[in-house]
């Protein structure tokens, strides 16, 4: 049986390359460093790691991406999740990541 590690944090959603870019939340540097230290072997191409994300009781399978310029993981928030959870740019909310 595979164990699951849960990371929970608060972040604001932001948009890359407005007005048509992707939407993300940024994980903290401390959390990103810890994940990379212990789970880097689970990364696939381009620093991508499969996770389960939970926002406002909405759970979905996705990936986090390691941003080498910022030294943090980014979680993309797709349109379906933004709509279901009523998430807006610069709104702050809690996110859980399951590895």
Q: Do the beta carbons of residue 99 and residue 42 sit within 8 Å?
A: yes
For residue 47, give both structure tokens: 């620093």
Write down the pLDDT at residue 1: 47
- From first to last of its 99 residues, what are the pLDDT tens digits of the chain? 466 899 999 999 999 987 889 999 999 999 999 999 999 999 998 899 999 999 999 999 999 999 999 999 999 999 999 999 999 999 999 999 999
Residues 79, 7, 68, 11, CA torsion sign: positive
Q: Which residues contact 99 (CB under 8 A, 6 or more apart)?
A: 4, 5, 7, 35, 39, 42, 49, 51
Write down the pLDDT at residue 96: 97
* Domains detected in the chain: 6-98 (2.40.30.100)
- Predicted TM-score (pTM) above 0.75: yes
């Amino acid at each position: 049986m595979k164990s699951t590690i849960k990371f929970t944090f608060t972040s604001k959603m932001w948009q890359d390359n407005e007005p048509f870019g992707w939407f993300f939340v940024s994980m903290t540097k401390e959390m990103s460093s810890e994940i990379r230290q212990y789970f880097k072997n689970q990364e696939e191409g381009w620093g991508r790691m499969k996770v389960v994300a939970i926002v406002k009781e909405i759970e979905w399978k996705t990936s986090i991406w390691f941003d080498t310029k910022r030294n943090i993981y980014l979680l993309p928030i797709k349109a379906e999740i933004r709509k279901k959870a009523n998430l807006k740019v610069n709104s702050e909310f809690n996110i859980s990541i399951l590895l």
